[in-house]
Amino acid sequence: MTADPGRLARIHGESFTVPRPWTAVEIAGLLATPGAFLIEAPDGFLIGRALAGEAELLTLAVAPSARRRGTGAALVAGFLDRAATAGAGRAFLEVSADNAAARALYAQAGFAEAGRRPGYYRRPDGGATDALLLARALGPAPLAEPRQTA
């Protein structure tokens, strides 16, 4: 697939109210920045960035009609592979504390809470919700401890 910022913005708009959806211009600008990369699926996409030994998952959007079919998990797996290939030793992301589905997806991929930004996101009703900072190590799995024999 060739990056179509308009298509990506439509999917993002269907997927988010908090944080607010990104525009085609914002998406195109982000994709033009150093280290940025796009992973696409027919009904979703992920934008990441890998620089200076770290990788950031900037956004993940799956059209509501295509959810719960493994697209998000496949995009996250692609991100982790791409980040490791780019030499990143650590990956991180930010997610709304009240986005239970995304938090479950990221936990399944090995991300754990590393910080919190209280009241970071504004809801359409004027309220606020926290941003959770999630992180995980990249690279080969650690070696298992040798088993003791009696």
Active-site position among 26, 94, 113, 120: 94
Q: Does 120 participate in catalysis according to the annotation?
A: no
Single-letter amino acid, residue 39: I
Q: Which of 40, 54, 56, 106 is catalytic?
A: 106
- Residue 106 annotated as catalytic: yes
Tokens of 64: 């509501």
Measured CA angle at 39 (ends 75, 26), to 5 deg: 115
- With 0-12 / 13-18 / 19 or more C-beta atoms within 10 angstroms meaning exposed / middle / buried, residue 115 is exposed
Q: Are strands 54-62 and 90-96 parallel, antiparallel or unpaired?
A: parallel
Q: Give me the helix-helix angle, 5-15 and 24-31, nearest 10°.
A: 120
> What is the set of active-site residues?
94, 106
